[in-house]
Amino acid sequence: MSRAKKAAELGPVFITDRGKPAHVLLSMEEYQRLTGGKRNIADALAMPGVADIEFDPPRINLEPRTADLS
């Protein structure tokens, strides 16, 4: 993995499956350059492995209050 990451810093790393290109490993900088640096929440949530991330944020109770318009 370390060698692949170092190689991706120099340029795209093509990963083949039975001799045919199947995947490309890019540095994050190159990926952001190609995608315009934009990422939406739907894409982030659709990423593989997201379901395995534990995330249990604390609940916040907000009490409504009257606005002071003076």
**Cα separations (Å) of 5 from 10, 16, 24, 47, 59?**
9, 16, 12, 19, 38
Indicate whether this model's pTM tops 0.85: no
pLDDT at residue number 14: 93
pLDDT at residue number 25: 94
Q: What is the pLDDT of residues 1-38, one digit of tens each?
A: 889 889 999 999 999 999 998 999 999 889 888 888 77
Please name which of 8, 7, 24, 27 lies closest in space to residue 16, comparing C-alpha atoms. Answer: 24
Residue spans of the domains in the chain: they are 2-46
Strand locations in the chain, DSSP E?
Answer: 13-17, 20-25
DSSP reduced 3-state for 10 = helix
Gyration radius (Cα) of the chain, Å: 21
